[in-house]
Amino acid sequence: MSIHSDLTVEQSAGPRTMAVLFLELDGVLDMTGSSESQLEEVLAPYLAQLEIVISDRRALHTPIETLRSKLPNRIASRVVDSMYLQELTNSCWSDYHSALATRYACLRLWLDRRRSPGTRWLALEQRWPLDSWPTLEREHLVCGPIAQASVRQQLTQALSQLVG
């Protein structure tokens, strides 16, 4: 089940839309349990203000419930969708396997179709997709395995700026 509502969180300046975290599983998590707990530790202070969208390539053909089950409960409960839009995966004119379907293009398409302009977002990716990621949008990108202390630090700083 996908949730496509505009969730809001009350803050001192009034209601704000939830921020979106695009999460790639492969390469970010090692799926042994330790990296999942490290991710949960970093995300914990921000979870109430985040919607998580799985950006992993497996989400193209794997039910979101299956991917959600691989995450700690607190993180899984914040997963609202995958970035691969159902209405396009079954389309005769769209091909997520095309060279034009870069990670950034898919992510941007999801934002354009599922959220209002100005939605705050961040992507946690396995590696820098520099060939397809616009220079001005790289501020929305944290890359590397969550097991690396430098990645956890970058993610914490980015989340603090995003929702803090």
Integer Cα distance of 73 and 5 in angstroms:
21
Q: Decide if 118 contacts 162 (C-beta within 8 A).
A: no
Check pLDDT > 50 for residue 136. Answer: yes
| Secondary structure (DSSP) of 4-41 | ----EEEETTEEEEPEEEEE--BTTB-SSSHHHHHHHH
* pLDDT attached to residue 54: 94
* pLDDT attached to residue 20: 97
* pLDDT attached to residue 57: 82
Average of per-residue pLDDT values in the chain:
82
Q: What is the Cα gyration radius of the chain? A: 15
Q: Which of 87, 16, 25 is nearest to 50 (CA)?
A: 16
pLDDT tens-place string over residues 8-65: 333 333 345 699 999 998 888 886 778 999 999 999 999 999 999 999 888 888 899 9
Interval 88-98 mean pLDDT: 60
Integer Cα distance of 35 and 29 in angstroms:
5
* pLDDT attached to residue 30: 80
Name, of 57-61, 84-88, 156-160, the range with top average pLDDT: 156-160
* pLDDT attached to residue 97: 60
pTM here? Answer: 0.83
Domain 15-163 part of CATH 1.10.10? no
Q: Decide if 151 contacts 143 (C-beta within 8 A).
A: yes
Spans of all domains in the chain: 15-163
Which alpha helices (DSSP H) does the chain contain, by range?
34-43, 64-68, 73-76, 86-89, 103-114, 149-163
- What confidence tier does 1 reach under pLDDT thresholds 50, 70, 90? very low
Higher pLDDT, 48 or 87: 48
